[in-house]
Structure formats: structure tokens, C-alpha cells
Structure 1
Amino acid sequence: MSAVFNFTFVPWFRSVAPYIHKFRNQTFVVGVTGEAIAAGKLQSIAQDLALIQALGVKIVLVHGFRPQVNEQLAAKGHAPRYSHGIRVTDSVALDCAQEAAGQLRFEIEAAFSQGLPNTPMAGATVRVISGNFVTARPVGIVDGVDFMHSGLVRKVDVGGIHRTLDMGAMVLVSPFGFSPTGEAFNLSMEEVATRVAIELKADKLMFLTEVAGIRLNPLEAEGEDNPVDTELPLDVAQKLLAQLPPATLPTDVGFYLQHCVKACKEGVERSHILPFATDGALLLEVYVHDGIGTMVIDERLEELREAKPDDVGGILQLIEPFEKDGTLVKRSRTEIERDISAYTIIEHDGVIFGCAALYPYPEAGTAEMAAVTVSPQSQGTGDGEKLLKRIEQRARATGLKSIFVLTTRTMHWFLKRGFQPVDPEWLPEQRKAKYNWSRKSQVLVKYL
């Protein structure tokens, strides 16, 4: 095995580990469009879902079948009809939907049953269980349009789904529901997935669709690797929806966004819109910091807070590379544990991406802002400014008049944020006694 492979694989695998721990025993509802299956993506999607499940995630898979039903209708010389963004399901369309659902269920179960050597499914045992988990009601007549056998979700068998997941199986839900009288109704995958996620209190709702995601300002996407906004706060998503015309087509900006917003408003912390055209989109979204699609969240995932003893390991891991290259002065674990109450951190999904410490010198009316670190993955996102503002707030709260930093490489960053250079002789006597004259650190002060 080459040294280059070791060099790239080991750090990557270590970076993924926090997300594996974070999502273990969580529940994801994944909505896969019929377009993804028609595009030949089922095999790779099944492999990725099997891997995610193997890492301890409970999965409910909801499949769509829009193009498959339209294909069946075309074969019978019957044109598809839509109104208000919903299929009008007459008796012919209902037969086509049942045929398409049966065929897709067969294909999905087959995809999860494969275990050939030298494939991602080798050695995997994925039990896929489907059933009548959804009770439906008719859409009825809307604005003079009779939707006939089209329905909406009335109730989700939450207990049955949870019991199935607790058995270690993956739950498969087709966009069909049955009334208490046994009548079948054709449902939309998007509504089913959203209602199931809400009723289960799922940790994630993920739509794997033909839409890459959402960009609030398309002009900002020029020259960027990812053309979409990877994180969309719920309030911003709601304002965007209010500005858009009603979405009737899957490619309309608001089509999937409206379901993501609904899920987040009703308790699902994170809802995602992912492009099935990107190989491994599910893995990239779940196990990579920035993800690949657009995530709607009911609050920003980055939590700015004071550090606790359990954060010592994360702080050490964050600052170690900067200590090695000389950007930061080396600090021992004992020193960080002793001073942990001085630290402020930025945490994202259980991973620490930024930290700074405040060491007060009350007799001089000032404090040192030390160990200022932002992970390379988060640099340029404003995390440094957030840390600085929190440190300033902490300093003001204790009646201090200024904060100062010692730096050898990041002087310009601090100068842009109101710091002024001073002679090391300015330092409080207690701090001056520990000043490393051979390191020649610049001393910068900001008056509060």
C-alpha cells in the first residue's frame, strides 16, 4: 500500500469519525425520486444507504415513481394529468401507479440483496421491510378539479415503523396509502417523506432529486466549486418561499424547499436537497463538513459557547497543526484542562472548528486573547469574527478596558478588526515576565 494513500486515507477517515459517532442510532428519512431510479442510480444509492445503515443509522426509504407511472400511461395511450402540482389519478392512472410501485419495490429489494465479492455490498445483510405504514385520505375536489384516486397522508404508523427499525431493518415506504375502508390512494413521494419524518421526529429528511440545491444569489456562484448554498437557515428559507410563485414542477425552486421548510417547522432539525447526479451525494452530505446540496435548518448548526472539560480533546486536535507549524505556542493537555473555563469554542455537529481563550489581567484592566484558531475547513466563513466578538463580550462583562494578542503570522487579520500595534513593554508586568523575546511576537491591542 502506497505511502501517499496512507497519508490521504488516515486523516480523511479520522475526520469522518466524529460524524459516525454523531449519527449513530439517529433516524434518517430518505426520499428518492423516480427520476433517480430511471437514470440508473439505484445501485449506487442502495450501496451508499447500506453503508450508512452499517454505520448505525436507522433509515426509512421513501421512493417516488413519477416517470415510471408516466411511462405506463404512455404505453396505454393515456396522457398524464396534473393540477395544483398534484397528479390527477383516474382508474387508469391508479392501475399504472400500482404496477410501477410493484416493479420498483422489486427492483429496490433486489438492489439491497446483492452481496457480490469486491463490491460495496459484499458481506452486507440489509433487510428491507415494507408494509401498510401510511393511512390516506382523498384529496377530493379542489377548485372544480376532481383528483379521484389521488390522496394525502392521514396517519403514519409510527409504532410499527419504530419497531421495524429497532429490529435492524430498513423500512421501505411506497407513495401509496390506504383508507380504513381499504381504498388505495396515489400519494406524492415528497408529502409522504415529509409526513413520515415529522411523525417519527426524524433527525434528517433527505431528498435525492434532479435538483442540485438552492442558491439565493446565482451571481455569487460564479467561480465557486459548489453552485448552491449548503446551509439555509429556516427563516431565510421561509422568506424565499414567500417571494416565489407556487411550485408545481419538481424543477421549480420551491418544490422541494416547501417540504424542507414544513419538516423543519414541525421538529425535523435538518432537511436536505441533494443531486442524484453526483455520485455519492448521500455520503458527501452526511459525512463531509460542508456537504454537497442545500440543508435547511431550524437554527444554525454552529454553536458558539464556552468550553467544558469534555472539549479538551477537540481543542487539542484543532490547535495541534498550528502548534507544529509555529503559528501557535504549544500548550499541554494539562494546561488546557486547567484553563478550560477561559476558552470559547465554535462547535458544528459535535466537532470543534474554532476556539479562543481569554486570560484576564484585572490589575491592568486588560486581558489576553490567546490560542485563536479556526479550522482550515471553516476559514473565510466568519468564525474568527464570531470568536472575537464573544471574547470582547466576556472582557467587557468583567469590566476590562482592552484585549491584546501576541502573534507572529496573523497581524493583518487583527489590524483589520481594530487592533493597534504596541511595544512589548506595554504588556502587564505579569505577562511581560513570560514574553518570549526570541520569538519576537507582535503585540496588538484593541480598546473596548
Structure 2
Amino acid sequence: MVLRQSIGLEGQSARLRHISGLRTYVRKHRESPHSQRQAHGPAEWGTACKGFMAPWREQGVARCRPSFACRVSRQTGLQNLDDSITSKPVEEGSSDAAWDSAQLVKFLHVASPYVMRHRGRIFVIVVPGEVAYEPRQLQPLLEDLLLLHGLGIRLVIVVGGKPWIDDHLRAAGREPRFEGAYRVTDAAAMAGALHASAVTYTTIAGHMSRAPFVPMVRRHAALAPHGGPAVQVVNGNFTVARRRGIVDGVDFGLMGQVRYVKRDAVEVQLAAGAIVVLTNIGVTSSGELLNCNVYDVATHAAVELGADKLLCLTGQDVADLGLPAYLPLDDAEALIARGAGEGGAGAGRGVDGAFTFGSGEEVEGQGGWGRAAGGGDRGGQGGHEDGRPPPRPPVAPADTELQLDLDSWQQIGFPREVVAAAVACRNGVRRAHLVDAATDGAMLIELYTRDGTRGVTMIATDLYEGIRPAAWRDVDGITRLLTHLEEVEGYPLSGWLHEVSQRLRSITVLEREGKVLACACVADLGASQDGARLMELAALVVHPAYRCNGLGDSLLDYVEQDARRAGYGRCLLVQVGRGGYDWFMERGYEPAGLAKTSPLLPRVCANSLPPFAALYSKEFVELDEAADVPAGQRIGF
């Protein structure tokens, strides 16, 4: 990771401290009138952000630096932020002062592309009841969510209530009752569900209503004329549900299954700058209140709102799986299918039942929150009788309600967070993240650094689908693409067009349904004067009819990953044709002057180039061992 390498072993804690300290300034600058934002423009904004590190410079000669008791202050909800900051004099030019300033500026530069990318996007955050029930986990999480909101992300928080319902029943001398994955919700259980909904919403709304800490913001932002909630937090009858009814002779009472989430109503609140909180309560068309499951609500919300991300806080059961940092959707579904084949799906429903996705209350011992993960009998056999693999999860048609059924998830014995993430991605959500709830700040580091952090798994539609080394059957398709690039678009290819069959080992293609849609051609240039092994990206072309949908990004990313694992340290582009190379510059390639005189290019290669040829260069960043995986098994460098 870039930051980890540049700032040493304290890198991750430093990033967390910097992110946390910036929250107040981000919020105040976003709330400032347009004229004040102009006064604190981009250049001064960095200085404003650094203000949290030295808010007492007005005191005169001595320069002070705050020491953030990060974990303590976050766990107490930053209720006494002034007590969590202690100022100690630091002499001008001291190493401590220089370290803090330099690392904050570095972090802002690294995080800025992600800030711009995430701004205005809808993120659905799943907060299970076990996290909401524990203040030491909930309060720092809410601080992180406030920061995300301050950075322009439109948040929908889906919070569970299982512990409160269980407590309510036990206080009345009753034990929770489940049939399969669903809670039998009688009047007493429903009273507990309503109590859970009220407690979770009011707790979140109250925590997010605290105004910014005045001494930290008065230097850089105008103060409001009177106090008021810092953020608008809304809840309402956004979740439409229906009764589960009587199944196999069991009356589930007021247990609900989500039909849909009111997209238009939620989007109105998000557009107004509010944070939307969805709880375990759904409503019917007749006005009846029902108890619903957090994953049922969250999956519908993410799919129907067209969310950019679904983020699920997870427990020990997911951590025990040892999932990689990036899990392509197809691999996630295969993992779930193996779980179905090993056991739970054989409980009288068959494998097809294992992929009828849906909702239900979590059963005691099944959640993995400090308890052993449960599961069905592990003796069954998966797949069809003829040996074919189990089917992939179905995609709901656009004109129908998304039908979910979590009974089968429990029978598989697989963590439902993983299954919910896979269902959401299969139904249109671009990416889902499984975030370890026990890792403080993991969500922020995952979203605003290149490589994220340990304890987080991202599930996404397979961005590298169809990318592979070229084969003999691809020659005609590659030739057509290169012919268009050279003869129509005017990019000379230095002999590649007539040597495709001889250079297949140096070509990577992107194929869909038997058609080559894109290709990349590379060449080994030997070593540069500084010893780095060089690769030339001689050509990268996407079929004109399939451009502007990310195929070029996926192919370039794949080729660069493959080159790095092969030992290359730098990739070069030589421009001899018309047009600019802005597309490559946006992806990390930097102008390196004229190719013929550049020290980056070996002389034997430079001598054959025309004098006007321009050179572009990109360094391949070293990764830690955990990120060193085959091409296509992670996203980006």
C-alpha cells in the first residue's frame, strides 16, 4: 500500500486519525455559503483541513500540535472532544510537526480521487442489531458515517433490532421462537420489534444531531447563528411488506417479508441532504406494521435504489471464512454453491431451494456474533442427479418484485451477509463490501485508500470476465481491431498488424460470447538505466461499438497486474500518431519527454523512433504480500 510504505508501521493508525479529525471541517465547509466556500477555495481548503492539527496557533510564539486519543475518543462518541485533544508545544521545524503535516497532505492527495468518485453516490449500510446494541461499536461507527455524509455520500442506514426483541421477550418470561429462519412474531414479539425500531432510530438520530465542536471550526468556517441538529436524520414508512402467513402449518403472525422500498420517497430525502434510516419495521397496504429482517430490507433498498455500494458489517463467522480482499461475483456464488452442496440444501428442499433468496430473522447461534456459526447437516450432496452444478441465483425481472426467502440461506449454513452481498450484486448493485465490525475505522480505510485494509472483502460483478491470453482462434478478431486502430484512427503499430499470429503470447484479449471486443499488445524492452525492467504497451484498442463502458479499464488493469507479477517495474507508451493520450494520463501515465532522448528508454529502442515521438511512463507500485495475487483477482494496484 502506498501510504503504508511511505509512513511506516504507523500508517494505518495515522490515516484513521486524519480521517476522524477532518470530519468536523468537512461538514462545516460544506455547510458554508457559496461566497465563504470561495473564500476557502481548494488551495486554502488543505490549510483548513490542517487546522485540526494546530487550532491554537493564534496563541503566539509556541506552536501546538494536538494528540488525538483516537480510539478512546471514538468509543466515547467524541462527546468531549476538547478533552480528547491535548496540546503540547512543538518547536517550529521539529520532526513531529513536519511528520504530521506531511502525512496529512499526503493522505489528502491519496484520498481525493475516492472523495470525488464517491460524492453523490448512494451507499446502503447494514448495521446488524448486534452492532447497534453495543455502544462501543455503534458510536465510532456513527462517527465514521457522519464523515461519509460530510464527504457527499448519500447514506441509507439499515439497522437491525434482534437483541432488543429477544430482551423484551425474556423480560416477559418468554423465549424467542423461530421456525426455520423466521421469527414467530406474536403480539409480544411485535411489541419488542416496535421497541427495537424506536430505540435504534432515536439513538442514531440523537448521536448524529450533535453540533460541530466550536473551537475546532471557528477559525475556518462561519458559525451558525443558533444551534441545531448537525445532520437531518429521517425515518418513515419507506419499507412496504406483507405477512409471511401460515407456512407448513405454522402461523408466523406479524413476521413480514419485504415487497419493496419506496424509491422515490427515499430519494427525495437523500436529495435534501438527509440520512435515511430504515429499521426492522415494514408496513402493509392496509396500514399494518410488520417485523422484517435487516438483510431483507437492505437487499431490497440497495437493489431498488440503484445503490453504488452495499456495505455489511460482519461478525466472526465471516472472518473465519478467510475471504480474500476481492471476490468476483462468480467466485462468491461458487462458494455459496459449495456450501449448498456440502449440506444444508438437502433438508427436503433440494439445491434449487438453496438459491431461493429471501428474508428471515436470525436464529440463535447462527449469526456468528461472538458465537459459533451454525449450519445444517453437512452430509448432503449438492447439484443435480446428473452431476451438473447447482443453478446460479436468479435475477429478478425489472417489472417484478424481488422475491427473497432466507430459509434456504440458513439451511446452507453460510453467513447471510455473504449471500445478501451476492444477491445484491447479481441484481444490479455494482459492489458490496463485507466489513469486519470489530476493526475500528475499517470502512473509512476501505473506501478512501487504494488497497483498503485487512478484514474487508469486496464482492463485485466480475470486472475481468472474458479476459485471457490470446489464442489462434482470436487472430481474425485481433487483426480487425488493430486494422481499425492503425488505418481508421491513425495510430501506427510498428509491424504488429502483420505479425499477430507470431506475437500471440504478447497479446491479451477480452472476449464476450465468442467475439473479441478488445485487445492489448505488449513488448519486453529489457532494462532501463536504473535497472527497472521495462514493458511497452504497444496497443490497447476496444471495438468502437463497445467503448465507454469500462472494458478498456478492465483490460488495462488486468495487463498491468499480469506485468507486475512477471517482474516488470515500469510500463512505457510511445506516441507517434495523432491525438492525445489523456485517457492514459488519467490512469497514472505521466509524460516523460521525447522518447528519443529519454533516459527511461534503452538506446537500442530509442534509435528506431522518429524525433517527434513522445514517451509516457507509469511505475508499477510494490504491494504487500497479501495483495500479490494473480491478475484478475484484485482491482487495481
Could you report, residue by residue, the CA deviation over 1:384-407 in whole angstroms, capped at 9, with x for unpaired residues?
Answer: 999xxxxxxxxxxxxxxxxxxxxx
Matched-pair contact (CA < 8 Å) for 1:264–1:271: yes
Matched-pair contact (CA < 8 Å) for 1:114–1:121: no
> Structure 1 143/374 Cα, relative in aligned 2: closer, same or farther at 3 Å?
farther
Q: State yes or no: 1:94 paired with 2:257.
A: no
Distance 1:110 1:70 in 2: 24
Match of 2:134 in 1: 39
> Structure 1 303/168 Cα, relative in aligned 2: closer, same or farther at 3 Å?
farther
Q: Which amino acid aligns with 1:374?
A: F
How much has 1:155 moved relative to structure 2? Answer: 2.2
Aligned with 1:296: secondary structure? strand
Which residue of 242, 248, 261 corresponds with 1:137? Answer: 242
Which residue of 553, 558, 571 corresponds with 1:356? Answer: 571
Match of 1:289 in 2: 450
Identity %: 31
Q: State yes or no: 1:110 paired with 2:206.
A: yes
Match of 2:629 in 1: 381
Distance 2:100 2:315 in 1: 33
How much has 1:114 moved relative to structure 2? Answer: 1.7
Matched-pair contact (CA < 8 Å) for 1:109–1:128: yes
Alignment of 1:401-416 (within 5 A): none
How much has 1:12 moved relative to structure 2? Answer: 2.1
Distance 1:51 1:20 in 2: 11
Which residue of 78, 100, 107 corresponds with 1:5? Answer: 100
Which residue of 423, 437, 452 corresponds with 1:276? Answer: 437
Q: Which amino acid aligns with 2:301?
A: V
Matched-pair contact (CA < 8 Å) for 1:73–1:93: yes
Question: Is there any run of 5+ residues in structure 2 with no aligned partner, and where?
Answer: 1-64, 66-96, 224-228, 346-361, 374-413, 469-480, 482-528, 542-551, 565-569, 577-604, 609-614
Higher strand share: 1
Matched-pair contact (CA < 8 Å) for 2:310–2:429: yes
Could you report, residue by residue, the CA deviation over 1:146-175 in whole angstroms, capped at 9, with x for unpaired residues?
Answer: 211101111211000011100011111111
Which residue of 154, 160, 170 corresponds with 2:265? Answer: 160
Q: Which amino acid aligns with 1:207?
A: C
Give the root-mean-square deviation of aligned CA atoms: 4.0
The alignment's TM-score, normalised by the length of structure 2, stands at 0.49
Q: State yes or no: 1:149 paired with 2:254.
A: yes
Aligned with 2:237: secondary structure? coil
Could you report, residue by residue, the CA deviation over 1:230-259 in whole angstroms, capped at 9, with x for unpaired residues?
Answer: 111111111111121369622244321111
Could you report, residue by residue, the CA deviation over 1:100-135 in whole angstroms, capped at 9, with x for unpaired residues?
Answer: 211221111111012352899998821101100011
How much has 1:205 moved relative to structure 2? Answer: 0.6
Question: Is there any run of 5+ residues in structure 1 with no aligned partner, and where?
Answer: 217-226, 307-324, 331-335, 387-448
Matched-pair contact (CA < 8 Å) for 1:36–1:209: no
Distance 1:213 1:294 in 2: 10
Match of 2:23 in 1: none
How much has 1:184 moved relative to structure 2? Answer: 0.9
How much has 1:228 moved relative to structure 2? Answer: 3.8
Aligned with 1:180: secondary structure? coil
Distance 1:96 1:120 in 2: 41
Moved more, 285-294 or 228-237: 285-294
Distance 1:384 1:99 in 2: 47
Distance 1:262 1:120 in 2: 43
Matched-pair contact (CA < 8 Å) for 1:29–1:204: yes
Q: Which amino acid aligns with 1:375?
A: V
Alignment of 1:180-199 (within 5 A): 180-199=285-304
Distance 1:14 1:255 in 2: 37
Match of 2:519 in 1: none
Aligned with 1:152: secondary structure? strand
Tell me how many residue pairs correspond in the alignment.
346
Q: State yes or no: 1:235 paired with 2:330.
A: yes
Match of 1:174 in 2: 279
Distance 2:619 2:202 in 1: 52
Q: State yes or no: 1:299 paired with 2:462.
A: yes
Q: Post-superposition, which runs of at least 4 consecutive aligned residues in structure 1 deviate over 4 A?
A: 118-124, 301-306, 325-330, 339-349, 352-355, 358-361, 369-372, 383-386
> Structure 1 303/280 Cα, relative in aligned 2: closer, same or farther at 3 Å?
farther
> Structure 1 90/199 Cα, relative in aligned 2: closer, same or farther at 3 Å?
same
Matched-pair contact (CA < 8 Å) for 2:464–2:554: no
Q: Which amino acid aligns with 1:276?
A: A
How much has 1:345 moved relative to structure 2? Answer: 7.2
How much has 1:44 moved relative to structure 2? Answer: 1.1
Match of 2:544 in 1: none
How much has 1:346 moved relative to structure 2? Answer: 6.8
